[in-house]
Amino acid sequence: MVHYAPQVQLPLPICLERSAPLLTTGHVAEARIGTSGTFSDNMRLPIHRWYRYSAGFSADWVRSVIRECKPSALLDPFVGSGTSLLAAEEEGIDSYGFEAHPFVARIARAKLSWNASVKELVSWTAKLLQQATSMSPDISGETPLLLKCYSTEALRKLCAIRESFLILKEEMSTSVGELLWLAITSILRPCSHAGTAQWQYVLPAKGKARVLEPYDAFKTKIDTMTADMRHFQRSATPSGTLMARDARERLEFLDGKIDLVVTSPPYPNNYDYGDSTRLEMCFWHEIRGWGDLQTTVRRFLVRSCSQHAAAEKLKLDDVLAAPQLEPIRRDLSEICRSLEEERSHHGGKKSYHTMVAAYFADIASVFHALRGACSAGSRMCFVIGDSAPYGVYVPVDEFMGRLALAVGFSGFSFEKIRDRNVKWKNRKHRVPLKEGRLWIEG
């Protein structure tokens, strides 16, 4: 018998209306009940727009939740590209964010460097470009992915910018260095003729119509960044603390300080966060290709894709025996056994059975860590989605809610935002899926 705490109906958060081109603090006014939005909503917002991170949510929505809940400190344990921290800085409250993907954490860190000297950034940009335009780097040793994704001319220019940056970097301040690193990183897709899939996987074989010239793209990016930095320097407070760390780890240092958690963890839907930055990591020589992603990225993350579970060679019984899974073990085991059985009928033999078990073991550890960080009366909002690998339905909202109650949170309710059964790549099943907000009471 499964026991539920009485579901607490929390007030719906408000969501800010999208409006004119560049939204700034002064314009954020109209509100409506609505969705958590997508990252594309952020592409017109200062700082947020510096790097397109498809997995992200809407900054305006986060701001609306902050205004509604009036917390003294916000935590986002899966902060991605930094959306929640920047939103908190715009609202003038303290915030903490964790990100375990090293490359994505660096992107967030660079965005949070908006308080650096604009003058210094402009001056180093000029030096960098002057040096780059006099260089003609040998690109023959670049990774096969880069050679496929760029014309020789474009790649040579991008490598010249990179080499020039690496030479000058030691002389500039850390924050200006991080801003320049991000400017270079963020022009890599626009300067490639290769397409990008909806979820940021690079598609070398799929061409696209508009390709930017690297030096122009770099200058334009710096112009955008300096304008946005000036805007934030006038209107926001640099109060966010970003940590490149694992949300599953214990959080003694926050000991009851947090009264609002706004976050979106990976969904157990096989999206490979490691692969979303493959092009960029190849460019910076952090990996040679897909085969390096497990050791450089995935191993740090919540296990939400089958490649990760397969690489760890997990044994289902061992994962299911994890003590933190006790509150859902019986129902979860049934699902994982069905996935194990289903696997034998499919050619790819994907490790969904161990992935799903490991996913909830990881999420349970995150809740455990959060319990220590959150005050009594705190509130948490998890933007989540369910999944149905091989057509076997996984009730993510219910399992997460039960795991949260088991570590001492007092109630949960789920607020559906949209149906998403069309997005699952394996369309062989017709299981309806959904995305929404899991509200958890502290």
Ligand X SMILES: C[S@@+](CC[C@H](N)C(=O)[O-])C[C@H]1O[C@@H](n2cnc3c(N)ncnc32)[C@H](O)[C@@H]1O
Stretch that binds ligand X, among 80-88, 151-159, 180-188, 282-290 (CB under 6 A): 80-88
CB of 261 to ligand X, least distance (A): 12
CB of 297 to ligand X, least distance (A): 8
Q: What is the DSSP letter of 6?
A: P
Tell me whether residue 45 or residue 222 sits nearer to ligand X (CB atom).
45
The HSE-up count of residue 158 (CA atoms within 13 Å, CB side) is 31
Give 77 or 137: the residue with its C-beta nearer to ligand X: 77
Q: Do 78 and 263 form a contact (C-beta atoms < 8 A)?
A: yes
By CB under 6 A, tell whether 13 contacts ligand X: no
- Residue from 36, 64, 200, 264 that binds ligand X (CB under 6 A)? 264
Binding positions for ligand X, 283-302, rule CB under 6 A: 301-302
Nearest to 39 by CA among 81, 3, 102: 81
81 binds ligand X (CB under 6 A): yes
d(CA 389, CA 391): 5
User: Site residues for ligand X, window 16-55 (CB under 6 A)?
Assistant: 39, 53, 55
Judged by CB under 6 A, the number of residues near ligand X is 24
* 385 secondary structure, DSSP code: E
Exposure string of 313-342, with b = 16+ CB inside 10 Å and e = fewer, is ebebeebbebebbebbbeebeebbebbbeb
Interface mask toward ligand X for 207-246; x: CB under 6 A:
---------------------------------------x
Where in 122-161 is the site for ligand X (CB under 6 A)? Answer: none
Mark the segment that binds ligand X (CB under 6 A) among 99-107, 140-148, 164-172, 384-392: 99-107
Given a contact cutoff of 8 angstroms between Cβ atoms, the answer to whether 119 and 127 are in contact is no
Q: How far is the CB of 427 from ligand X (least distance, A)?
A: 22
By CB under 6 A, tell whether 104 contacts ligand X.
yes
Asked if 99 touches ligand X (CB under 6 A), the answer is yes
Containing 365, the helix (H) or strand (E) segment is: helix 352-373
Angle separating helix axes 352-373 and 396-406, nearest 10 degrees: 40
Of positions 266, 268, 327, 411, contacts ligand X by CB under 6 A: 266
Residue 24: closest CA among 162, 174, 230: 230
Q: How far is the CB of 436 from ligand X (least distance, A)?
A: 14
According to DSSP, residue 316 is labeled H
Are 35 and 61 in contact by the 8 Å Cβ rule? The answer is yes
Q: Does 277 bind ligand X (CB under 6 A)?
A: no
Q: Which residues bind ligand X (CB under 6 A)?
A: 39, 53, 55-57, 77-78, 80-81, 83, 98-101, 104, 246-248, 264-266, 273, 301-302
